[in-house]
Structure 1
Amino acid sequence: MAVKEATGNNDGPRVEEYLAYTGFGKGHAWCAAFVSWCYGKAGLPAPRNAWSPALFPLARRYTKEQIQGGVIRRADLFAIYNQKLGRIDHVGIVQKMERNWILTVEGNVNNGVLSKRRSLATIYAFSNWLD
């Protein structure tokens, strides 16, 4: 069964479960909470944060050289930057790298959890929470 918001307002049983994992209730943006929940289900204690910029500290970010060298792997995180807000405002999980594309799993896209194909040109940063 696909995960969808109940009313399109960051709500619904599964969405609220993701948010609760990071200490928030319904109505909050939940892409980072979804990522954190997935890591928790995989037995990893971190990240556990609903604020997407917090999932990209410099110590965990890949450098351009690392990215060009092909180090991005399954379960790394990717960030989308919002120029208007002046910050990262979306995060998801890398499923696979395909040349200049990534296949993803992300929450809070079209009011649900989706797999998407994104151009590397649209990705602001990648981070490693596996090591």
Structure 2
Amino acid sequence: MGAIKVCIVLVCLAAAGSGWGFGRSTLKEETGYERVVRIARKEISVREISENSSPRIREYLSCVGIKEAAPWCASFVSWCHKEAGFAQPRTPWSPSLFPKARVVKEPLPGCVFGIYFNALGRVAHCGVVVKLHGGNVYTVEGNTSVAGSREGDGVYARVRHRRTIYCYADWIGRI
């Protein structure tokens, strides 16, 4: 009987030391980057009901002070950051997501990407970086389409080649 008690005590001590539910969590705390990605992914399948509008899209636009239907890719990015607990960015205009102080060469998942349109002479579409793999950037984007348009009909997961991305900005880890 004494040997059984000793074994039980040893098992309990081993469990306590390993974090088996004795006050220590083995779950990793979610980073700000991971929160932005998780929130963006949850929005995949949001679609417009009419041009640039639906109840959820109005929430994205409202986040940046826009009260009527308008292009909303930057509003979507701003909304994702707000939902993740960040005070910035808050803009409906994609070029303003890329101030020099925020631009990074090597993005992390959760950073913002921008696509430059020569015809407009500026960044004119943006979204959230989800993953980088080889030459590809996996993204979640608002106001796009299956084809990758900058005037789409919803929130989509996309895969873009790195060469098509003009710049990246970090609104989480940079000043």
- Equivalent residues in 2 for 1:81-100 (5 A)? 81-100=116-135
The alpha carbon displacement at 1:27 in A equals 1.9
Alpha-carbon deviations, 1:90-116, whole Å to 9, x = none?
Answer: 010000000111100110002000000
Aligned residues: 123
SS at match of 2:60: helix
The alpha carbon displacement at 1:25 in A equals 2.2
The reply to whether residue 51 of structure 1 matches residue 86 of structure 2 is: no
The alpha carbon displacement at 1:72 in A equals 1.6
TM-score (norm 2): 0.68
Unaligned segments of structure 2, at least 5 residues: 1-43, 146-152
- Equivalent residues in 2 for 1:1-131 (5 A)? 2-7=45-50, 9-62=51-104, 67=105, 71-110=106-145, 111-131=153-173
Task: Output the amino acid matched with 2:48.
Answer: E
The alpha carbon displacement at 1:30 in A equals 0.2
The alpha carbon displacement at 1:26 in A equals 3.0
SS at match of 2:76: helix
What percentage of residue pairs aligned between the two structures are identical? 41
> Relative to total residues, which structure has the larger helix share, 1 or 2?
2
Distance 1:92 1:2 in 2: 15
Two-structure CA RMSD over aligned residues (Å): 1.1
TM-score (norm 1): 0.90
Unaligned segments of structure 1, at least 5 residues: none
> Greater Rg, structure 1 or structure 2?
2
> Relative to total residues, which structure has the larger strand share, 1 or 2?
1
